[in-house]
């Protein structure tokens, strides 16, 4: 199948592009600029564009049989100087994503897989008070509303993703890996209470491939792997980095996992079990978080050593 991955230069999109190509699909990645030499998808065909402006045209999308949309932005991507939060979420989520899906439909693309986020599907009440979650929900529902006989569109709503690629995502974990190894004595050894579900980037890529080829049109799939407390996640990082110490729980905000980053609120847990039939349909691995954390730490250490 001829597939375009929007956001294909990012962490989720790059893993998806590699997974799809490995299983025989003809994959092009789309990004805002040229690919760096160390990109995981440096040898893929590249389509340059920006769905938020928007710059993609119907002619550019015509000829692709499927599109994977893996470019949805979250609070980490919001510029600090941008104080118009609602406008940002409209551009990147509630308006921007369905608008791009409509363009794909108009271009004759037959299948569209949106990679969203799990908050509104696990706990709908959060969308009532959190503009980011509300925008994710609107993007999810707006894209799926376009489903018909000619346009198979579904959404994957994953939890926190464990994985990195060279560049920004590797740098984002550098401080945490250094702390886990015992090299940041100014950062205290505790984890905030609460927890959530985690999923590896590899498992998500497998689910994306499953959705492209087998996803039910109009469906929103809540996917995930392991429910972990934040204490357990921090301990996994420490163990993978060789930190040789035990992490306790303390009801305080943490430098490496601030209250702002815990969307459900510190002390709360977003735990769930993905539907077994849907997991089989999408064909993604479970029980992959320990391996993913170990691979993440190894990649960050290697990148830090090179630099």
Q: What is the pLDDT of residues 248-271, one digit of tens each?
A: 999 999 999 999 999 999 999 999
Contacts of 282 by beta carbon, 8 Å cutoff, 6+ apart: 156, 206, 207, 210, 211, 214, 215, 221, 223
pLDDT reported for residue 84: 76
Classify residue 74 as left (phi > 0), alpha (psi -120 to 50) or beta: beta
Give all strands of the β-sheet with 46-48 in edge-to-edge order. Answer: 46-48, 26-31, 2-6, 66-69, 111-115, 152-157, 220-222
What pLDDT does residue 182 have? 97
Residues of the chain with pLDDT under 70: 77-83, 307
Q: What is the pTM of this model?
A: 0.96
Q: How far apart are CA 302 and CA 232, in angstroms?
A: 24
Q: Measured between alpha carbons, how far is 170 from 39 in angstroms, rounded to an integer?
A: 12
Q: Is 281 exposed, middle or buried (0-12, 13-18, 19+ CB in 10 A)?
A: middle
pLDDT score for 304: 86
Q: Tell me, what's the pLDDT at 112?
A: 98
Delineate the domains of the chain, giving CATH numbers in brackets.
2-306 (3.40.50.720)
């Amino acid at each position: 199948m001829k597939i375009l991955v929007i956001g294909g230069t990012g962490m989720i999109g790059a893993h998806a592009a590699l997974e799809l190509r490995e299983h025989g699909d003809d994959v092009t990645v789309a990004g805002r600029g040229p690919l760096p030499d160390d990109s995981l998808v440096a040898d893929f065909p590249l389509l340059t564009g920006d769905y938020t402006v928007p710059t993609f045209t119907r002619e550019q999308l015509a000829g692709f049989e499927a599109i994977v949309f893996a470019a949805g932005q979250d609070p980490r991507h919001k510029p600090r100087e941008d104080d118009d939060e609602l406008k940002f979420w409209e551009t990147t989520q509630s308006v921007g994503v369905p608008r791009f899906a409509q363009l794909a439909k108009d271009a004759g693309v037959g299948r569209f897989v949106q990679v969203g986020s799990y908050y509104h599907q696990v706990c709908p009440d959060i969308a009532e008070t959190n503009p980011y979650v509300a925008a994710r929900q609107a993007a999810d529902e707006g894209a799926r509303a376009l489903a018909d006989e000619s346009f198979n569109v579904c959404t994957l709503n994953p939890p926190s993703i464990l994985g990195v690629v060279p560049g920004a995502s590797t740098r984002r974990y550098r401080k945490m890996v250094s702390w886990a190894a015992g090299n940041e004595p100014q950062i205290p050894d505790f984890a905030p209470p609460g927890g959530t579900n985690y999923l590896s980037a590899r498992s998500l890529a497998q689910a994306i491939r499953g959705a492209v080829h087998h996803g039910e049109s109009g469906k929103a799939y809540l996917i995930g792997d392991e429910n972990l407390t934040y204490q357990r996640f921090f301990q996994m990082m420490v163990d993978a980095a060789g930190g040789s110490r035990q992490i306790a729980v303390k009801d305080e905000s943490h430098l490496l996992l601030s209250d702002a980053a815990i969307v459900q609120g510190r002390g709360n847990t977003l735990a769930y079990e993905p539907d077994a039939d849907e997991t089989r349909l999408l064909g993604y691995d479970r029980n992959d978080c320990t391996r993913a954390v170990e691979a993440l730490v190894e990649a960050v250490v290697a990148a830090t050593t090179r630099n």
